[in-house]
Structure 1
Amino acid sequence: MQICGIKLTHDGAIALVEDGRLVFCIEQEKRVNNERYQAIDNLDAIAVALAEHDLDVGRIDQFVIDGWFGDVESQFQVHSGKTPIILKGAPYVERHPRGLLTSFDGSGLMLNGKVFPYRSFPHVTGHVTSAYCTSPFAKAGLPALCLVWDGGTFPRLYHVEGQGARFLGSLFPMNGYAYGLAGHYFGPYKQANRHSLDLGIAGKLMGYIAMGTVDEDIVTVFRELYEERFAADTEPARRYRAQSNDWKSRWDAVHEFFNTSALRLDTERPEDVLASFHAFVERVLIRGITAILQRLSDLPGSRNLCITGGCGLNIKWNSALRNSGLFDAVWVPPFPNDSGSAIGAACSALAAGQGFVPLEWSVYSGPALRRTNVPFEWDAVPCTVRELATILARNKPVVFLTGRAELGPRALGGRSILAAAISAEMKDFLNDIKLREHFRPVAPICLEDRAPEIFNPGTPDPYMLFDHQTRTEWRDKIPAVVHLDGSARLQTIPRNSQHKVAELLVEYEKLTDIPLLCNTSANHNGRGFFPDAASACQWGRVEFVWCDELLWTKKPTGLTPGEGLM
């Protein structure tokens, strides 16, 4: 059984699941240096992705489209070649507590001139299925709670077990986009035009708030306005909560919340305001999930939690939930945001037919490296992983490209810029070449068995989804990966992993006794990962590009990248 999952809107992607195994997931932003969050506006992209994997569109058993905004159904305006097409799909949220796997059945999916039927499940369904089916709980046959919180919903809690899922309730009345929208009113991303949302701001705010301090007086302002406008038994709050399908009215209400907040907090430091807002939301989150669990004290099974939706990328909230003592184990997939929605669409069809079965998958299931012509001024020589470790030990950064790309938004050693972490200047250099603000952190990638020695807790974190503190005795040894508040967005990888980045870390450790490197994504600013060595060489901001055993170098002119970092 071959199921093709499709996400047409932002973070567009095509996923193929065959007999319970993820064959690939191609996110549009990771093709030909596309812009971040690229949508699929032409159905030809689906046929191309399948053809690249030697798959005929006519032999696919099911096509499944992720649902989108709408009360009863969603609508997509796309093209097939030059032909405009309107497709209908499922709504954003299921229509009744046990309706998660209720599909919309459509027709008119035109691929290579042929028309195919398709199914569509609610957008939220894809979040639930992609999170649970990839989790260790599914593999062990255990039930789990699933927290879905993204831009379009209040945080929603589900109970998932083998044969079904049911909605338990919303935790509190705040859509996930509110966090990013706060950055339009306070801090370095403050905007005059606040009626469009930059999807990248939320992640940047997590770095920025380390410059601030939580102020309880500021928290009180947010709490009072939140109660008055959203949560309490007041007329504005009742009206806001009732507007479940009126996106514009809710959007306007959140803007008014921040407008009023800004007037009351205009003399406060913006970094303190945003740090306090982050803390306020975290407290509401923990309080909300505690309350719903108390109401459901007789819920069967162990207390396992999956976290998904765009807010699942917030490492501090994830850690707060894990540290709350409410759960036995917590799982966050590497694609909790909409980058996992194509996988979720396919998993939804799988669940509808077979129940919530585990998916066999690898995080390195993205596009393969393309073979393209590297600029003539760059030369290639064979280079072993050990030889590459020697270059890194000389404090020289390297673009590191190998195998298939990672799933989700974070570079995990397949499309990375790697560098030694021994100098604070390296962090500034990496931020400069990436055109990023200097307060932005650079992540460490570390051998799993040594991570507890360096970080607290330092527990396995293969996808950079939890918060870790750098231990005091290591902060001066690896300053490039220590954030302003002492934290690190850690990625761990087992020493015996077959991935080339693990082999590189082992060789680097032999030379330096340091089991970690700086790791940041290899990409043009505002675009997806480099799809090939040619893109990295054309970018040209790092002296060395390593791509599957070949080291590309260009004779430097002027200041050498990395010069002065020794």
Structure 2
Amino acid sequence: MIVCGVKLTHDGGVALVDDGRLVFSVEMEKLANNPRHQRVDDLEIVGELLAEYGYRLADVDRFVVDGWRKTHKVKPWGGQETLIDLAPYRRGLLDDDLLRPWSSHVLDLEYTSYPHYAGHVAAAYCSSPFAAAAEPSYVLCWDGAMFPFLYHYDPAARAMESLGAVHHMLGDTYHTLAMAFPPFDAPLQWPHTLALPGKIMAYIAHGTPDEGLVTSLGALLREAEREVLGTDRPDDDRLTESAGRRILARMREGLDAGGTAPADALASVHAFLGRALVDGLKERITADGRGTRNLCLVGGCALNIKWNSDIRASGLADAVWVPPFPNDAGSALGTACCELLRSPGPVHLRWDTYAGPGLVPSEPLPGWVARPCTPAGLAGLLHEKGEPVVVLHGRAELGPRALGHRSILAPATDPGMKDRLNEVKGRERYRPVAPICLEARAPEVFAPGVPDPFMLFDHEVRPDWRSRVPAVTHLDGTARVQTVGPGDDPFVFEVLTAYERLSGVPLLCNTSANRNGSGFFPDVRSAMEWGRVPAVWSDGVLYERP
């Protein structure tokens, strides 16, 4: 069965699954230097992407569209705008069947739409090692406009069961409460608020949680629950988005940080939400009593590496899986996975991290000099010159993190490199720069240093390494590590291995290669036109600006 998944709304994308294998998953922001969070406004792009990979519209057995609570206005293949009916954000009115299909058509094209939450949950399980091994798993999904719901998937019964919310705060609570304190108290309009959680998570390294404020936030939540829901243990029917918004508004109104410094107040909000997540998860898993030791984390809040690490360290699961596309970047792929869960065949998705768009051929800018350069030669250049290099290789990564194919790589040994990279990217100085590290050496440099190929967990930089790799050591002594082993991408592994051989250091700085506010560079010329880094390496060729 060939399934084409489409996400029309923000973070729009198109994905194709052929007999359980992911052929491509392309987010609109990664095409043509589009703005971050770009929508799909013209369905013509669906046919264009299918043709690029050798498929026709008529080849697709099922078109599936991600749900979003409302109709969405699009152009069908360059024609007049029309409304497309979408499934709701999380559930229907009569039951809590996460995989309830909503069928409709646009012109003569029939399609199915699944609730937005269903796509997140399906993407997490179907892409996981648990699905590959046909093992059961819990799935915790916490997205911006919904409560954190826990699900359990039993592959023997082919059943996805909702176990309810682990607490009663929307995912938007994090940035909404944080916007009460500087430097995040300036009003922002959508979609700029989508970038706030990552900035807040970086900034809290300036502060220390105030336990009095953490306790006050808990009391404020209980008060808001009683006021809005009538109880702190409501039925799921009461957990509508409007109820969540009222709880959030009540908490924002009652928030009083007293004399707590802003950085400490922000750290307190973070600590409160993280503890509520772990405590609520523990309560739900204990009450369920199935003994399942696998756990998937998904939804926009699963980009919070510190909460992910708290959950992993809690002992609630033996294995914690977070896909590299936990946010809406994975929704086109996820809604296609809903069909896998409902079909009689295998539910495991066979996929590759680098299944995004390929590089677009382009001519270099006049004045740039090109010469052949192997991956080992790139490592030598990084070691000898100590300068950042834009790296564009093969097909792009899935999800929001640059994982070596659309990256700026640089030595981590220079104490000024973090500030330099933040400056060229137009980012705040407090933003950390992530390390990309050889998997075998990671335990020596980081704690716990376990394999983390997608940069989605927090690690402590070991004290004896902090002075050796200052550019990737955050203010609180941590780093968002991406590990690379011999079974991962051969190109990235070769660069790191050659760099370690020359320098004795098994890691490099790794940040995304893109204009501020846009997706990854789609071609070499775009990186040259941006021009803030003097060298671009792409598929065996080094381009340098004299």
1:100 aligns with 2:94: no
8 Å contact 1:423–1:480 — kept in the other structure? yes
8 Å contact 2:4–2:17 — kept in the other structure? yes
Residue type matched to 1:533 in 2?
A: V
The alpha carbon displacement at 1:82 in A equals 3.2
The alpha carbon displacement at 1:217 in A equals 1.6
Task: Find the aligned partners of 2:425 and 2:192 in 1 and give their Cα distance.
Answer: 22
Q: Which of 180, 185, 188 is equivalent to 2:183?
A: 188
1:255 aligns with 2:249: yes
Q: Which of 527, 543, 546 is equivalent to 1:552?
A: 543
1:63 aligns with 2:57: no
Residue of structure 1 in register with 2:337 after alignment: 347
Residue of structure 2 in register with 1:128 after alignment: 121
TM-score (norm 1): 0.92
8 Å contact 1:174–1:230 — kept in the other structure? no
8 Å contact 1:15–1:26 — kept in the other structure? yes
Residue of structure 2 in register with 1:292 after alignment: 284
1:281 aligns with 2:273: yes
Residue of structure 1 in register with 2:451 after alignment: 460
8 Å contact 1:161–1:356 — kept in the other structure? no
1:97-496 equivalences under 5 Å are 99-108=97-106, 110=107, 115-162=108-155, 163-192=158-187, 198-230=193-225, 244-245=239-240, 247=242, 250-251=244-245, 253-261=247-255, 264-265=256-257, 267-297=259-289, 299=290, 302-354=292-344, 357-394=347-384, 395-496=386-487
The change in CA–CA distance for 1:156 and 1:356 in structure 2 (over 3 A counts) is farther
Residue of structure 2 in register with 1:564 after alignment: none
CA deviation string 1:44-76 (max 9, x = no partner)? 12112112212111221110001112xxxx321
Task: Find the aligned partners of 2:190 and 2:520 in 1 and give their Cα distance.
Answer: 28
User: Gaps spanning 5+ residues in structure 2: where?
Assistant: none
Residue type matched to 1:518 in 2?
A: C
The alpha carbon displacement at 1:268 in A equals 2.4
1:17-36 equivalences under 5 Å are 17-36=17-36
Indicate the SS of the match to 1:519.
strand
CA deviation string 1:352-397 (max 9, x = no partner)? 1126611100010000000012211212111112221111013111
The alpha carbon displacement at 1:241 in A equals 8.5
Please give the root-mean-square deviation of Cα atoms over the aligned residues, in Å: 2.0
Residue type matched to 2:193 in 1?
A: D
CA deviation string 1:193-241 (max 9, x = no partner)? 6787610100111100001111112212212211111367975979998
Bigger drift between 499-508 and 489-498 goes to 489-498
The change in CA–CA distance for 1:186 and 1:354 in structure 2 (over 3 A counts) is farther
1:2-21 equivalences under 5 Å are 2-21=2-21
Task: Find the aligned partners of 1:294 and 1:497 in 2 and give their Cα distance.
Answer: 36
The alpha carbon displacement at 1:508 in A equals 0.4
CA deviation string 1:473-526 (max 9, x = no partner)? 100000000000000000000035443111100110110011100000000001
- Percent identity, aligned pairs only, is 47
CA deviation string 1:144-165 (max 9, x = no partner)? 0000100121100011022121
Task: Find the aligned partners of 1:387 and 1:360 in 2 and give their Cα distance.
Answer: 33
Q: Which of 54, 76, 79 is equivalent to 2:72?
A: 76
Q: Which of 514, 534, 537 is equivalent to 1:543?
A: 534
8 Å contact 2:6–2:15 — kept in the other structure? yes
The change in CA–CA distance for 1:165 and 1:433 in structure 2 (over 3 A counts) is same
8 Å contact 2:146–2:241 — kept in the other structure? no
Task: Find the aligned partners of 2:159 and 2:175 in 1 and give their Cα distance.
Answer: 33
Query: How many residue pairs were aligned?
Result: 541
The change in CA–CA distance for 1:182 and 1:454 in structure 2 (over 3 A counts) is same
The change in CA–CA distance for 1:483 and 1:552 in structure 2 (over 3 A counts) is same
8 Å contact 2:164–2:236 — kept in the other structure? no
Residue of structure 2 in register with 1:534 after alignment: 525
Task: Find the aligned partners of 1:531 and 1:53 in 2 and give their Cα distance.
Answer: 17
Task: Find the aligned partners of 1:136 and 1:187 in 2 and give their Cα distance.
Answer: 41
Indicate the SS of the match to 2:387.
coil
Indicate the SS of the match to 1:322.
helix
8 Å contact 1:180–1:197 — kept in the other structure? no
The change in CA–CA distance for 1:90 and 1:192 in structure 2 (over 3 A counts) is closer
TM-score (norm 2): 0.95
8 Å contact 1:229–1:236 — kept in the other structure? no
Residue type matched to 2:281 in 1?
A: I
The alpha carbon displacement at 1:92 in A equals 1.4
Indicate the SS of the match to 1:518.
strand
The change in CA–CA distance for 1:86 and 1:43 in structure 2 (over 3 A counts) is same
The change in CA–CA distance for 1:4 and 1:242 in structure 2 (over 3 A counts) is closer
Task: Find the aligned partners of 2:191 and 2:495 in 1 and give their Cα distance.
Answer: 42
